[in-house]
Amino acid sequence: MPRLVGIFGGTFDPVHIGHTRTIAYLLDIIPFEKILIIPNALPVHKENSQESFQHRFKMVSMAFQCIDKTFVDDREKLRNGPSYAIDTVKEVLEEETDAKVIFIVGSDSFSEIDSWHKWEGLLSLVDFIVMKRPNHPLTRSKKAFDLINKTINIKDLVKKRKIKNIVELKVTPVTVSSSLVRQHVLEGRGVEHLVSKKVGEYLKKHNLYDSKNLP
């Protein structure tokens, strides 16, 4: 079996327990050597982040600090221009020349894969794990549904293969989103059940999201 390196990117605006629990679950069932957690600097498929990269990076670092084999990576801030996934993947492949790199993404994001920058080239570079997200099924009307390989499973995916595959993985539903966290903060409601203790304290200390409009 090859070394396995995961890439988990996102806006993380803010990071929440759905992010951390999903990655912890993947680490329990897949022998990753490490998973790179990479916050977007300039998201392409979403509106501008409500909070700065510095705040988001700090919160992500707090959220994942107790999860072994995860490394929070600031490469997209160091790179000029929009945060294109294909650029990040190419950089990681150059650094991890002897590893099998797997891109981890939620079904909501993957459902729009054919709108990503150079998406076909991206799919030719790495394998994908698509995590089923509640209320975001990959419908038959979308290109994404046809891209999922229905004939292999996770055990097949982690083997050394030249052909790149896309596998859908069912994870325990966590009904939380960054927009829900922002809404709770804006309305003065508690977020203790939505984010880690340290992230909750950070949100309060820096008054994040409490005076901004929801997207």
For 122-126, 147-151, 209-213, which range has the lowest pLDDT when averaged over its residues?
Answer: 209-213
The pair phi, psi for residue 100, each rounded to 5°, is -95, 115
What is the residue-averaged pLDDT of the chain?
Answer: 90
pLDDT of residue 213: 42
Yes or no: domain 3-174 corresponds to CATH 1.10.760.10: no
**Residue 167: is its pLDDT beyond 60?**
yes
CA distance 41 to 83: 6
Q: Which helix (H) or strand (E) holds 89?
A: helix 85-95
Domain boundaries of the chain, sorted by first residue: 3-174
Instruction: Say which range, 51-55, 152-156, 195-199, has the weakest mean pLDDT.
Output: 152-156
pLDDT in tens, 24-73: 999 999 999 999 999 998 877 665 678 999 999 999 999 999 999 999 99
Q: Tell me if the pTM is above 0.75.
A: yes
pLDDT band of residue 135 (cuts 50, 70, 90) is low
Q: Is the pLDDT of residue 209 over 50?
A: yes
Instruction: Please indicate whether residue 82 or residue 21 has the higher confidence score (pLDDT).
Output: 21
| Cα separation, 208 vs 52, whole angstroms | 10
Task: Outline where 98-206 has alpha helix (H).
Answer: 107-110, 119-123, 143-147, 154-157, 178-186, 197-205
Q: How confident is the model at residue 140 (pLDDT cuts 50, 70, 90)?
A: low
Rounded Cα–Cα distance for residues 208 and 195 (Å): 13
Mean pLDDT of 114-122: 95
Give me the sheet containing 3-10, strands edge to edge: 70-72, 34-39, 3-10, 99-106, 127-132, 166-170
Note the pLDDT of residue 215: 42
pLDDT at residue 185 is higher than 90: yes
What's the rounded Cα separation, in Å, for the pair 89 and 13?
22
Given a contact cutoff of 8 angstroms between Cβ atoms, the answer to whether 177 and 18 are in contact is yes
Stretch 142-170: mean pLDDT: 88
